[in-house]
Amino acid sequence: MTARPDRSLHVAPGGAGVDIEAARRAAADFLAALGVDVDHEDLAETPARMARAYAELFSAPPLRLTTFANDEGYDELVLARAIPFRTVCEHHLLPFSGLAHVGYLPGGRLLGLSKLARLVEHFAARPQVQERLTRQVADYLADRLDPPGVGVVLEAEHSCMTLRGVRAHGAKTVTSALLGTLRTDPASRAEFFALAGVPRLAKVHPDRRENPDGRENPDRRAGYEREQHVRDCRCKPGRSQGGGGPARGGVRRAGGADRGRGRTAL
Protein backbone atom coordinates (compact mmCIF):
# COMPACT_ATOMS: atom_id res chain seq x y z
CA MET A 1 0.00 0.00 0.00
CA THR A 2 1.29 3.44 -0.93
CA ALA A 3 0.51 6.32 1.42
CA ARG A 4 -0.27 9.67 -0.15
CA PRO A 5 1.77 12.58 1.20
CA ASP A 6 -1.05 15.14 0.90
CA ARG A 7 -2.38 16.40 4.21
CA SER A 8 -5.60 17.57 2.62
CA LEU A 9 -7.64 16.39 -0.34
CA HIS A 10 -9.76 18.72 -2.40
CA VAL A 11 -13.07 18.17 -4.16
CA ALA A 12 -14.02 20.93 -6.57
CA PRO A 13 -17.64 22.17 -6.33
CA GLY A 14 -19.74 20.73 -9.14
CA GLY A 15 -22.36 22.23 -11.41
CA ALA A 16 -22.68 25.45 -13.34
CA GLY A 17 -23.62 28.86 -11.96
CA VAL A 18 -27.09 29.32 -10.48
CA ASP A 19 -29.53 31.84 -12.02
CA ILE A 20 -32.25 32.22 -9.39
CA GLU A 21 -34.31 34.64 -11.46
CA ALA A 22 -34.37 32.32 -14.47
CA ALA A 23 -35.29 29.45 -12.16
CA ARG A 24 -38.13 31.53 -10.66
CA ARG A 25 -39.57 32.29 -14.09
CA ALA A 26 -39.31 28.65 -15.11
CA ALA A 27 -41.00 27.55 -11.87
CA ALA A 28 -43.84 30.00 -12.47
CA ASP A 29 -44.32 28.66 -16.01
CA PHE A 30 -44.17 25.09 -14.74
CA LEU A 31 -46.86 25.68 -12.11
CA ALA A 32 -49.06 27.61 -14.51
CA ALA A 33 -48.82 24.78 -17.07
CA LEU A 34 -50.14 22.43 -14.38
CA GLY A 35 -53.13 24.68 -13.74
CA VAL A 36 -51.85 26.35 -10.59
CA ASP A 37 -52.91 30.00 -10.26
CA VAL A 38 -49.56 31.62 -9.46
CA ASP A 39 -51.22 35.06 -9.58
CA HIS A 40 -53.15 34.29 -6.41
CA GLU A 41 -51.73 36.25 -3.49
CA ASP A 42 -51.04 33.09 -1.48
CA LEU A 43 -48.96 31.62 -4.34
CA ALA A 44 -47.29 34.77 -5.64
CA GLU A 45 -43.97 33.94 -3.94
CA THR A 46 -44.12 30.20 -4.49
CA PRO A 47 -42.02 30.14 -7.71
CA ALA A 48 -39.24 32.10 -5.99
CA ARG A 49 -39.38 29.78 -2.99
CA MET A 50 -39.17 26.76 -5.29
CA ALA A 51 -36.13 28.22 -7.05
CA ARG A 52 -34.33 28.93 -3.76
CA ALA A 53 -35.23 25.54 -2.33
CA TYR A 54 -33.80 23.59 -5.27
CA ALA A 55 -30.75 25.84 -5.40
CA GLU A 56 -30.10 24.91 -1.76
CA LEU A 57 -30.62 21.20 -2.44
CA PHE A 58 -28.19 21.29 -5.37
CA SER A 59 -25.39 23.25 -3.71
CA ALA A 60 -22.65 22.23 -1.30
CA PRO A 61 -19.61 24.16 -0.10
CA PRO A 62 -16.21 23.14 -1.51
CA LEU A 63 -14.92 20.11 0.31
CA ARG A 64 -11.52 19.90 1.98
CA LEU A 65 -10.69 16.47 3.31
CA THR A 66 -8.13 16.78 6.07
CA THR A 67 -5.93 13.74 6.66
CA PHE A 68 -3.39 12.85 9.34
CA ALA A 69 -0.44 10.50 9.40
CA ASN A 70 -1.33 7.11 10.88
CA ASP A 71 1.74 7.11 13.13
CA GLU A 72 0.37 4.47 15.52
CA GLY A 73 -0.38 2.05 12.70
CA TYR A 74 -4.08 1.77 13.57
CA ASP A 75 -5.54 -0.93 11.31
CA GLU A 76 -9.04 -1.57 12.64
CA LEU A 77 -12.28 -0.18 11.26
CA VAL A 78 -13.02 3.53 11.39
CA LEU A 79 -16.78 3.91 10.98
CA ALA A 80 -19.16 6.88 11.04
CA ARG A 81 -22.62 5.44 11.59
CA ALA A 82 -26.08 6.94 10.97
CA ILE A 83 -24.98 10.02 9.02
CA PRO A 84 -28.21 11.78 7.97
CA PHE A 85 -28.40 12.80 4.33
CA ARG A 86 -30.92 14.15 1.87
CA THR A 87 -30.81 14.47 -1.87
CA VAL A 88 -33.12 14.58 -4.89
CA CYS A 89 -34.08 11.72 -7.18
CA GLU A 90 -32.86 12.63 -10.67
CA HIS A 91 -35.84 10.89 -12.29
CA HIS A 92 -38.68 12.80 -10.59
CA LEU A 93 -36.86 15.62 -8.75
CA LEU A 94 -38.47 14.47 -5.53
CA PRO A 95 -36.42 14.14 -2.32
CA PHE A 96 -35.09 10.96 -0.83
CA SER A 97 -33.38 10.89 2.53
CA GLY A 98 -32.01 8.51 5.09
CA LEU A 99 -28.85 7.39 6.87
CA ALA A 100 -25.36 6.64 5.59
CA HIS A 101 -22.82 4.37 7.28
CA VAL A 102 -19.29 4.98 6.01
CA GLY A 103 -16.17 3.16 7.13
CA TYR A 104 -12.66 2.24 6.06
CA LEU A 105 -9.61 0.29 7.15
CA PRO A 106 -6.80 2.85 7.52
CA GLY A 107 -3.57 2.69 5.62
CA GLY A 108 -0.89 5.33 5.85
CA ARG A 109 -3.27 8.20 6.63
CA LEU A 110 -6.36 8.83 8.73
CA LEU A 111 -9.26 11.01 7.62
CA GLY A 112 -10.78 13.67 9.89
CA LEU A 113 -13.96 12.07 11.24
CA SER A 114 -16.29 14.92 10.27
CA LYS A 115 -15.09 14.60 6.69
CA LEU A 116 -16.89 11.29 6.26
CA ALA A 117 -20.16 13.17 6.78
CA ARG A 118 -18.97 16.05 4.58
CA LEU A 119 -18.18 13.61 1.79
CA VAL A 120 -21.72 12.19 1.85
CA GLU A 121 -23.14 15.71 1.92
CA HIS A 122 -21.02 16.76 -1.04
CA PHE A 123 -22.06 13.95 -3.37
CA ALA A 124 -25.70 14.24 -2.25
CA ALA A 125 -25.90 17.90 -3.32
CA ARG A 126 -27.05 17.17 -6.88
CA PRO A 127 -29.73 15.10 -8.63
CA GLN A 128 -28.87 11.52 -7.70
CA VAL A 129 -29.74 7.86 -7.69
CA GLN A 130 -28.95 5.96 -4.53
CA GLU A 131 -26.78 3.34 -6.22
CA ARG A 132 -24.50 5.98 -7.75
CA LEU A 133 -24.29 7.99 -4.53
CA THR A 134 -23.19 4.87 -2.66
CA ARG A 135 -20.44 4.10 -5.17
CA GLN A 136 -19.25 7.70 -5.45
CA VAL A 137 -18.56 7.91 -1.71
CA ALA A 138 -16.82 4.52 -1.65
CA ASP A 139 -14.76 5.11 -4.79
CA TYR A 140 -13.62 8.56 -3.67
CA LEU A 141 -12.36 7.25 -0.34
CA ALA A 142 -10.59 4.37 -2.08
CA ASP A 143 -8.99 6.56 -4.74
CA ARG A 144 -7.81 9.32 -2.42
CA LEU A 145 -6.89 7.47 0.78
CA ASP A 146 -5.70 4.20 -0.78
CA PRO A 147 -6.90 2.19 2.26
CA PRO A 148 -6.97 -1.61 2.48
CA GLY A 149 -10.77 -1.56 2.58
CA VAL A 150 -13.81 0.72 2.25
CA GLY A 151 -17.46 0.10 3.11
CA VAL A 152 -20.54 2.27 2.52
CA VAL A 153 -24.19 1.48 3.29
CA LEU A 154 -27.09 3.83 2.54
CA GLU A 155 -30.63 3.35 3.87
CA ALA A 156 -33.18 5.75 2.42
CA GLU A 157 -36.87 6.41 1.87
CA HIS A 158 -37.73 7.70 -1.60
CA SER A 159 -40.70 10.04 -1.84
CA CYS A 160 -40.96 9.23 -5.56
CA MET A 161 -41.96 5.72 -4.41
CA THR A 162 -43.92 6.57 -1.26
CA LEU A 163 -45.91 9.66 -2.32
CA ARG A 164 -46.71 8.73 -5.91
CA GLY A 165 -46.90 5.72 -8.19
CA VAL A 166 -46.90 2.54 -6.12
CA ARG A 167 -47.16 4.58 -2.86
CA ALA A 168 -45.20 2.02 -0.89
CA HIS A 169 -45.37 3.82 2.43
CA GLY A 170 -42.56 2.90 4.80
CA ALA A 171 -40.50 1.07 2.18
CA LYS A 172 -36.77 1.69 2.42
CA THR A 173 -34.02 1.04 -0.09
CA VAL A 174 -30.65 -0.25 1.14
CA THR A 175 -27.52 -0.08 -1.01
CA SER A 176 -23.97 -1.11 -0.20
CA ALA A 177 -20.53 -0.80 -1.76
CA LEU A 178 -17.61 -2.80 -0.41
CA LEU A 179 -14.05 -2.49 -1.68
CA GLY A 180 -10.81 -4.25 -0.84
CA THR A 181 -10.64 -6.34 2.33
CA LEU A 182 -14.17 -5.43 3.38
CA ARG A 183 -15.37 -7.21 0.26
CA THR A 184 -12.99 -10.14 -0.02
CA ASP A 185 -12.67 -11.18 3.65
CA PRO A 186 -15.96 -12.56 5.09
CA ALA A 187 -15.02 -11.82 8.71
CA SER A 188 -14.10 -8.20 7.95
CA ARG A 189 -17.27 -7.81 5.92
CA ALA A 190 -19.43 -9.18 8.73
CA GLU A 191 -17.67 -6.92 11.24
CA PHE A 192 -18.40 -3.85 9.10
CA PHE A 193 -22.08 -4.69 8.68
CA ALA A 194 -22.45 -5.47 12.38
CA LEU A 195 -20.84 -2.20 13.49
CA ALA A 196 -22.91 -0.31 10.92
CA GLY A 197 -26.03 -1.77 12.52
CA VAL A 198 -27.08 -3.80 9.47
CA PRO A 199 -25.77 -7.32 10.25
CA ARG A 200 -28.45 -8.90 8.02
CA LEU A 201 -26.51 -7.67 4.98
CA ALA A 202 -23.62 -9.95 5.87
CA LYS A 203 -25.88 -12.85 4.88
CA VAL A 204 -26.97 -11.15 1.64
CA HIS A 205 -23.65 -9.90 0.33
CA PRO A 206 -21.80 -12.70 -1.48
CA ASP A 207 -18.35 -14.04 -0.82
CA ARG A 208 -16.02 -13.77 -3.78
CA ARG A 209 -15.79 -17.18 -5.44
CA GLU A 210 -12.67 -17.76 -7.47
CA ASN A 211 -11.29 -20.36 -9.82
CA PRO A 212 -8.11 -22.24 -8.80
CA ASP A 213 -6.05 -19.83 -10.92
CA GLY A 214 -7.26 -16.89 -8.83
CA ARG A 215 -9.75 -15.49 -11.36
CA GLU A 216 -13.31 -14.83 -10.27
CA ASN A 217 -15.68 -17.60 -11.30
CA PRO A 218 -18.00 -16.05 -13.94
CA ASP A 219 -20.79 -18.51 -13.14
CA ARG A 220 -20.80 -17.38 -9.53
CA ARG A 221 -20.59 -13.74 -10.52
CA ALA A 222 -23.65 -14.05 -12.75
CA GLY A 223 -25.57 -15.37 -9.79
CA TYR A 224 -24.91 -12.37 -7.59
CA GLU A 225 -24.37 -9.52 -10.04
CA ARG A 226 -27.51 -7.83 -8.71
CA GLU A 227 -28.95 -9.28 -5.52
CA GLN A 228 -32.04 -8.04 -3.78
CA HIS A 229 -32.97 -8.13 -0.16
CA VAL A 230 -36.54 -7.21 0.79
CA ARG A 231 -36.98 -5.30 4.01
CA ASP A 232 -40.37 -4.81 5.65
CA CYS A 233 -42.19 -5.93 2.50
CA ARG A 234 -45.45 -7.60 3.41
CA CYS A 235 -46.12 -8.60 -0.18
CA LYS A 236 -43.42 -11.30 0.09
CA PRO A 237 -44.18 -13.32 3.22
CA GLY A 238 -41.74 -15.95 4.30
CA ARG A 239 -38.68 -14.12 2.94
CA SER A 240 -36.10 -14.58 5.65
CA GLN A 241 -34.13 -11.50 6.57
CA GLY A 242 -31.84 -13.28 8.92
CA GLY A 243 -29.60 -11.69 11.49
CA GLY A 244 -26.00 -11.72 12.40
CA GLY A 245 -23.77 -10.83 15.25
CA PRO A 246 -20.49 -8.99 15.28
CA ALA A 247 -17.53 -10.79 13.82
CA ARG A 248 -14.59 -11.82 15.91
CA GLY A 249 -12.32 -9.10 17.16
CA GLY A 250 -8.81 -8.58 15.88
CA VAL A 251 -9.54 -9.50 12.28
CA ARG A 252 -6.40 -10.14 10.24
CA ARG A 253 -6.22 -7.71 7.33
CA ALA A 254 -5.44 -8.84 3.84
CA GLY A 255 -3.61 -6.53 1.48
CA GLY A 256 -4.78 -5.13 -1.83
CA ALA A 257 -7.83 -3.17 -2.88
CA ASP A 258 -10.11 -5.30 -5.01
CA ARG A 259 -12.82 -3.17 -6.57
CA GLY A 260 -16.08 -5.04 -6.16
CA ARG A 261 -19.51 -3.92 -7.25
CA GLY A 262 -22.02 -2.47 -4.79
CA ARG A 263 -25.15 -4.40 -3.92
CA THR A 264 -28.68 -3.02 -4.04
CA ALA A 265 -31.44 -4.07 -1.68
CA LEU A 266 -35.00 -2.90 -2.08
The one catalytic residue in 56, 91, 225, 227 is 91
The one catalytic residue in 90, 216, 225, 227 is 90
Per the annotation, the verdict on 130 as an active-site residue is yes
The one catalytic residue in 130, 131, 155, 205 is 130
The one catalytic residue in 101, 158, 205, 229 is 158
Per the annotation, the verdict on 233 as an active-site residue is no
Residue type, 165: G
Q: For helices 46-57 and 20-33, what crossing angle results, to 10°? A: 120
Per the annotation, the verdict on 158 as an active-site residue is yes
Cα-trace Rg, the chain: 21
- 242: Cα within 13 Å, side-chain hemisphere: 13
DSSP 90: T
| Chain centroid, CA 60 distance in Å | 16
69: phi then psi, degrees, rounded to nearest 5:
-65, 135
In the chain, the N- to C-terminal Cα span, in Å, equals 35
Per the annotation, the verdict on 91 as an active-site residue is yes
Return d(Cα 205, Cα 11) in angstroms, integer.
30
Other CB atoms within 10 Å distance of the CB of residue 153: 26
Q: SS in 3 state form for 191-216?
A: HHHHHHCCCCHHHHCCCCCECCCCCE
Element (H, E) at 141: helix 130-145
Per the annotation, the verdict on 90 as an active-site residue is yes
Report, as residue numbers or ranges, the catalytic residues. Answer: 89-92, 130, 158, 160
